Amino acid sequence: MKVKEYLLDRIKKGTIHLTLIDPDKQTEEKAAEIAKRAKDAGTDAIMIGGSTDVTQENLDATSKAIKKACGLPTIYFPSGAHAISGNCDAIFFMSMVNSTDISMVMGEQVKGSLITKKLGLEPISMGYIIIEPGMKVGEVGQAKPIKRDDPEKATAYALACEYLGMSFVYLEAGSGADRPVPPDMIRAVKGILSVPLIVGGGIRTPEAAEAARLAGADAIVTGTFVERCSDDSELKNVIKASKG
Ligand code: 1GP
């Protein structure tokens, strides 16, 4: 089964949880251990990527180790075309649609398309929308983050992504954000969108995960929390609250 089909199939049954692991943050052995623990706690797939310092070497090694350790579908979550690994099953072929830098909207994508094909990676198209505070990814991507009190703008961006044929839309508050995407914004976007909605950035408690799910997120991404959490029951609680 292709990864996109796998995700859509699971989303049909309810909100899914995606674990994001940054290859730059730990050794590949540690990354593999985190992925295995996340799998045991109920995560549905592993995203691999980070905003800075992802190299071909750390990406290849981490992707391979994660795949071997947990067997879950792995999706590369790229910051650009400088590193793309054939060791992942799929790639979020994404555009940061509210970036002011054309290379983030449609530049890195041109650089990476032929490599993606050559590596046999499954491309999964995604519109990537940065919401305040936006954190490092917003800064590196030169985004103009959508204000937290402007759900209407978020819906306009999301719908434009859908009309352009993107398979998923991702509302991103930024890794380590002190506030996740507001539930009201998730609700507004979900109310207008027909493609699945991914939400991430700053979700690290069962309450925040539940609020995102109840507001209509189809997939909830947690990165920092899973990477730092050493308590298996705490990990389970957040993943359980994401999936309901
Ligand atoms: C970042 O949305 C993801 O791209 C995850 O964010 O690290 O805050 O969980 P956190």
pTM summary value: 0.98
Backbone phi, psi, residue 209, to 5° = -65, -45
For residue 69, name the pLDDT band (cuts at 50, 70, 90). Answer: very high
User: Tokens 């490599």 label which residue?
Assistant: 115
Q: Can you read off the two tokens belonging to residue 173? A: 């508050």
Residue whose C-alpha is closest to residue 88's, from 72, 77, 74, 70: 74
Binding site membership of 224 for ligand 1 (Cβ less than 6 Å):
yes
In tens, the pLDDT along 105-122 reads: 999 999 999 999 999 999
- Mutation test of ligand 1: which of 34, 52, 175 has the most ligand atoms closer than 8 Å to its C-beta? 175
**Given a cut of 90, is residue 136 above it in pLDDT?**
yes
Cα 67 to its chain centre, rounded Å, is 17
| Residue-level length of the chain | 244
> What does the pLDDT read at residue 167?
98
Q: Can you read off the two tokens belonging to residue 100? A: 């002011």
Backbone phi, psi, residue 143, to 5° = -80, 160
Binding site membership of 201 for ligand 1 (Cβ less than 6 Å):
yes
- Centre of ligand 1 to C-alpha 102, Å, is 23
In tens, the pLDDT along 205-225 reads: 999 999 999 999 999 999 999
- Centre of ligand 1 to C-alpha 132, Å, is 13
Nearest atom (ligand 1) to Cα of 204: 9
**CA dist., res. 224 & res. 39, Å (int):** 16
Q: Can you read off the two tokens belonging to residue 54? A: 């992802």
Q: Is 16 exposed, middle or buried (0-12, 13-18, 19+ CB in 10 A)?
A: buried
In tens, the pLDDT along 30-53 reads: 999 999 999 999 999 999 999 888
Q: Can you read off the two tokens belonging to residue 97? A: 């649609």
Residue type, 10: R
Cα 106 to its chain centre, rounded Å, is 19
- Centre of ligand 1 to C-alpha 60, Å, is 21
**CA dist., res. 88 & res. 110, Å (int):** 20
- Centre of ligand 1 to C-alpha 9, Å, is 23
Backbone phi, psi, residue 221, to 5° = -105, 130
Q: Can you read off the two tokens belonging to residue 244? A: 């309901």
Nearest atom (ligand 1) to Cα of 49: 4
> What does the pLDDT read at residue 190?
98
Q: Can you read off the two tokens belonging to residue 26? A: 């730990």
Cis-peptide, bond into residue 151, ω within 30° of zero = no
Q: Which amino acid residue places its CA nearest to atom 1 of ligand 1? A: 175
Question: How confident is the model over 123-150, as a mean pLDDT?
Answer: 98
Nearest atom (ligand 1) to Cα of 51: 4
Characterize 130-157 residue by residue with b for buried, 16 or more Cβ atoms within 10 angstroms of its Cβ, and e for exposed: bbbbbbebbebbebebbebeebebbbeb
The pLDDT mean for the chain works out to 97
- Centre of ligand 1 to C-alpha 204, Å, is 9
Binding site membership of 175 for ligand 1 (Cβ less than 6 Å):
yes
> What does the pLDDT read at residue 221?
98
